[in-house]
Amino acid sequence: MAVPTPHGVPDHLAAPQFPPELAKVLRADLAAVADEVEEEVRRQVPEYARPADGAYLQNLRSGVVQALTLFVDHIADPRDDGGAIAATYYELGRGEALEGRSLDALQSALRVGGLCAWRRMGRTAEELGLDSAVVAALGELAFRTVHEVAQAAASGYAEAQLRSSDELERRRKRLLDLLLEDGPVALEAVQDLAHSARWPVPRTVSVVALAAAPDRREEDRPLAAAGALVDMGSRPPRMLVPEPEGSGGTGGRAFTLALRGRPAAIGPAVAVTEAAQSLRLATRALGLMGRGVLPRQGVVRCSEHLSTLLLHGDEPLLERLRARVLAPLDTVSAGQRDRLAETLLAWLLSGSNVPDVAVRLHIHPQTVRYRLRQLEKLFGDALHDPETRLDLILALRAESLHARRS
């Protein structure tokens, strides 16, 4: 295994040849050194102060022995790259990440153990009467050995974290696809997948449909709310927000700022198994924003525009309703049609109260009465039929929305 060398550590030690008997003496003493190192690590690193029969301590003992073996092997044969032992520490680091633990404890154990081992082996070197140049070379080799195993552990840890992060992202993507698929969604299936994706299942959710960015710059990516499931690759991009009515949901200014000015439509809050309904309305609202029926910029909340969304739920049917119900207005000029349609809608919505219509439209009551007489001639008794009045309100509302975006 290739292990990068830190600044200040040479690739090849410019040290004198070690005496042939040194490796033999240190290897014979290896078990006793391992006992001393293990005891010191357990004393100084709380994470390793566990019952002696624990798997954690078995890994500790194995790691200590292999690191000491690597050190002695380097003395016996400087050409040995210690690949097998580096691979062991790679797996140790990987295991720490997979268990959800920090790498700090393992790195601390390496530092403490390395210092302890050097003190013990340094004493042995002095007892053998080795000169200062050889002792210095041993110290340099000890430092290099600790660095090699530490780097191997860090590499294993980083690789496992990356894979774990990628896998978590894949699971969350599958969870989002499950929640937003058409048809019934079983709560048990959601709970199982959410558990593997480390996503707490909320009581309610909202789906946010986002306008496509003009380019794919990272700074245009919205900042997801806490716990949100995001799919920027879908069309339109979407974000599922848990507990949207809570403090961290879609109702606050912080959420609007997190969108970075990107136009968005927020679907209504629904039960988690009904998220597809929220997506459908959010997508419809986003489409109406693009056409100018709803505000083109900012954030549109579907819960505030339910009647508009209902009207545009079946646009061909809505067009048929408009054409049939408003046919009498086709007999007048375009300018007159607009004025009469506006007056008729205001009159129907105000409970046939002429003064209220005048205030609403900023015109004189006499002008309202004049227009109503014209409408009476065009529509006749239909103006007083309850069912026809409902149809007229729907058709005129659609007409006003159409006029607003023209």
According to the model, what pLDDT value does residue 252 have? 67
According to the model, what pLDDT value does residue 81 have? 57
Q: Quickly state the pLDDT bin for 30 (edges 50, 70, 90).
A: confident
By mean pLDDT, which of 240-249, 277-286, 366-375, 378-387 is the weakest? 240-249
Whether pLDDT at 127 is above 60: yes
By mean pLDDT, which of 27-31, 177-181, 388-392 is the weakest? 27-31
Higher pLDDT, 271 or 97: 271
| Alpha-carbon span 206 to 195, nearest angstrom | 20
Q: What is the pTM of this model?
A: 0.57
Q: What is the pLDDT of residues 290-332, one digit of tens each?
A: 988 899 888 999 999 998 899 888 889 988 998 999 999 999 9
- Opening angle at CA 62, ends 57 and 65, nearest 5: 125
DSSP string spanning 82-145? -HHHHHHHHHHHHHHHHTT--SHHHHHHHHHHHHHHHHHHHHHHHHTT--HHHHHHHHHHHHHH
Whether pLDDT at 213 is above 90: no
